[in-house]
Amino acid sequence: MVKVNAMSFALLVREMLAGSYTCQELAERTGLHYVTVLTYTREMHKAGAAHIRAWRMNEKRQYVLKVYSIGNMQDARKPRAALTPAQRTQRYRMKHAKTIPSPSSAVPSIQP
């Protein structure tokens, strides 16, 4: 009798041996649910059977997507954000300071 969990885990390991993938890519390639792949990869990482090979950006340009690979190697360092929160706030304020009129410029001055 073949157990389904053993088969699905074998599919996951086979794909991870073939290359390095994010959990979303592994879910698409194996047909497993994303949460199942996430759970398996976290446990493999915790046990030392897998490591984080690289980090990828999501659509918001944040390094949050882990690329897993089989092996007990050191994890890749997570890259730092391009801008600190203070720098982002400053850039936002500078950009919108030009488009929003100040209260003093909105009221015309009356000269006698």
Reported as a single tens digit per residue, the pLDDT across 42-72 is: 999 999 999 999 999 888 878 889 999 999 9
What would the mean pLDDT of 2-8 be, rounded to a whole number? 78
Q: pTM score, two decimals?
A: 0.67
Q: Classify residue 25 by burial, with Cβ atoms within 10 Å: 0-12, 13-18, 19+.
A: middle
Whether the pLDDT of residue 6 is over 80: the answer is: yes
pLDDT of residue 40: 93
Q: What is the pLDDT of residue 24?
A: 94
Residue 57, judged by CB atoms within 10 A of its CB (0-12, 13-18, 19+), counts as exposed
For residue 107, pLDDT over 60 is answered with no
By mean pLDDT, which of 16-20, 84-88, 95-99, 105-109 is the weakest?
A: 105-109
